[in-house]
């Protein structure tokens, strides 16, 4: 066998169940995109809070964690520059129904090839780098969109404040319903402190809502404890391949913008509708979003019709006509001098170069 043929054979064995590129089903697994917070520290509330792009925090307690991209500024494993960092702000003794978790939901289109819910379900392998001030057995889970099929699994952190790489292989689920469209299909959960109600036995599929494992270490139980995560990869097959670094920053950002798009100092052009005292405007955006987004303004736009101006905030924004590929809205700010049906108008921010407004488009799962 020639040297080139031998190298190709090795590649074929290493990536036997997947492509050489686009292997990773996780978006922003290297934690480099942070459109919402721009690297700033955030005190996390209860409910669902998106942290880094595509990643969210889910909890029933208020102000128990702070989160920050690269919290603590520790050195990273070779090849990585960012990580997702959680620090316990107020310790909690976990009750049966309590939960503190970080997770990512994966769109059905992106995991349809797994064949889950059929007799041909493929295995997956999850690999990641983790670092904590605590040691012990930690809990995580893979779950379907309906939260009625779960595979809890464990991993062990052996040394405090040390990056360790973990690998877990999971046999594909031949039961249950797993979406193959633009809705949420597969969720990867990492427990930071989860009570018995949402914790199950590790290592097998269950028809229950489990998001961690019974007896797992509770990060939130220790004041000041840290939990850092990066290099998360979920791929087809029973072998962990090297993390898919070749994705460019621009490619990863575009993938994130399918779900959340924060546009600085937007400018919209449109026409006046005098009978409604409104201005209908719009803009096409790329990439196409997962679904028609919820649109808000973080700041104020100025509207000008050639004669007079007014201002637009989220409170007088109607987005009935938004689609997956365009943002169309009415600026319901009342009549302006010179208003006439069909007149051109424009919405804009300051020309001083300072960001005064963001148009925030949210189509998260």
Q: Tell whether 3 is covered by a domain.
A: no
Q: Is 125 found in the same domain as 41?
A: yes
Q: Of 213, 232, 257, at which residue does a domain stop?
A: 257
For the chain, the helix, strand and coil percentages under 3-state DSSP, each to the nearest 5: 10, 40, 50
Q: Is 227 found in the same domain as 279?
A: no
Q: Is 356 found in the same domain as 297?
A: yes
Strands 212-213 and 199-200: parallel
Q: Tell whether 245 is covered by a domain.
A: yes
Question: What tokens appear for 267 in the block?
Answer: 């400018």
> Which CA distances in Å does 330 have to 57, 177, 282?
33, 39, 9
Q: What is the pLDDT of residues 279-293, one digit of tens each?
A: 889 888 889 999 999
Q: Of 208, 238, 257, at which residue does a domain stop?
A: 257
Predicted confidence at residue 19, as pLDDT, reads 53
Q: Is 133 found in the same domain as 34?
A: yes
Beta carbons of 229 and 128 less than 8 angstroms apart: yes
> Which CA distances in Å does 5 have to 11, 17, 20, 33?
10, 19, 16, 38
Q: Is 30 found in the same domain as 130?
A: yes
Q: Tell whether 210 is covered by a domain.
A: yes
d(CA 106, CA 188): 8
Predicted confidence at residue 247, as pLDDT, reads 80
Structural domain total, the chain: 2
Strands 164-170 and 136-144: unpaired
Q: Is 123 found in the same domain as 18?
A: yes
Q: Tell whether 4 is covered by a domain.
A: no
Predicted confidence at residue 31, as pLDDT, reads 98
Q: Of 257, 273, 294, at which residue does a domain stop?
A: 257
> Which CA distances in Å does 137 have to 73, 85, 212, 216?
25, 19, 11, 6
Q: Tell whether 49 is covered by a domain.
A: yes
Tell me which residue range forms the domain holding 339: 260-362
- CATH code of residue 171: 2.60.120.260
Q: Is 227 found in the same domain as 81?
A: yes
Beta carbons of 62 and 43 less than 8 angstroms apart: no
Q: Tell whether 286 is covered by a domain.
A: yes
Q: For residue 49, which of 14, 79, 20, 84 has the smallest C-alpha distance?
A: 84
Q: Is 275 found in the same domain as 244?
A: no
Q: Is 228 found in the same domain as 86?
A: yes
Residues of the chain with pLDDT under 50: 1-18
Q: Tell whether 188 is covered by a domain.
A: yes
Predicted confidence at residue 1, as pLDDT, reads 45
Q: Is 226 found in the same domain as 161?
A: yes
């Amino acid at each position: 066998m020639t040297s080139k043929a031998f190298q190709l054979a090795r590649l074929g064995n290493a990536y036997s169940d997947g492509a050489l590129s686009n292997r990773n089903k996780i978006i922003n697994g290297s934690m480099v995109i942070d459109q919402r917070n721009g690297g700033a520290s955030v005190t996390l509330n209860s409910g669902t809070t998106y942290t880094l792009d595509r990643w969210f925090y889910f909890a029933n307690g208020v102000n128990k964690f702070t989160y920050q991209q690269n919290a603590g500024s520790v050195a990273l494993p070779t090849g990585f520059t960012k990580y997702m960092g959680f620090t316990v702000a107020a310790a909690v003794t976990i009750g049966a129904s309590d939960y503190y978790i970080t997770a990512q939901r994966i769109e059905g289109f992106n995991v349809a090839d797994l064949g889950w819910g059929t007799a041909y379900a493929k295995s997956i392998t999850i690999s990641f780098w983790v670092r904590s001030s605590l040691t012990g057995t930690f809990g995580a889970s893979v779950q379907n969109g309906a939260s009625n099929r779960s595979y809890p699994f464990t991993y062990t952190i052996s040394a405090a404040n040390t990056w360790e790489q973990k690998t877990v292989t999971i046999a594909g689920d031949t039961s249950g319903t797993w979406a193959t469209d633009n809705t949420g299909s597969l969720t990867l959960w990492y427990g930071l402190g989860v009570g018995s109600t949402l914790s199950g036995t590790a290592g097998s599929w269950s028809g229950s809502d489990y998001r961690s494992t019974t007896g797992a270490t509770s990060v939130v139980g220790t004041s000041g404890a840290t939990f850092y995560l990066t290099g998360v990869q979920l791929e087809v097959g029973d072998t962990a391949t090297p993390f898919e670094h070749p994705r460019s920053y621009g490619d990863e950002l575009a993938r994130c913008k399918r779900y959340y798009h924060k546009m600085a100092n937007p400018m919209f052009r449109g026409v006046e509708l005098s009978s409604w005292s409104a201005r209908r405007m719009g803009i096409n955006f790329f990439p196409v979003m997962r679904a028609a987004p919820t649109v808000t303004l973080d700041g104020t736009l100025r509207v000008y019709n050639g004669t007079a101006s007014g201002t637009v905030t989220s409170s007088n924004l109607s987005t009935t006509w938004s689609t997956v590929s365009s943002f169309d809205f009415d600026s319901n700010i009342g009549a302006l001098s010179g208003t006439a049906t069909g007149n051109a108008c424009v919405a804009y921010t300051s020309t001083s170069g300072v960001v005064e407004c963001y148009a925030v488009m949210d189509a998260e799962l």
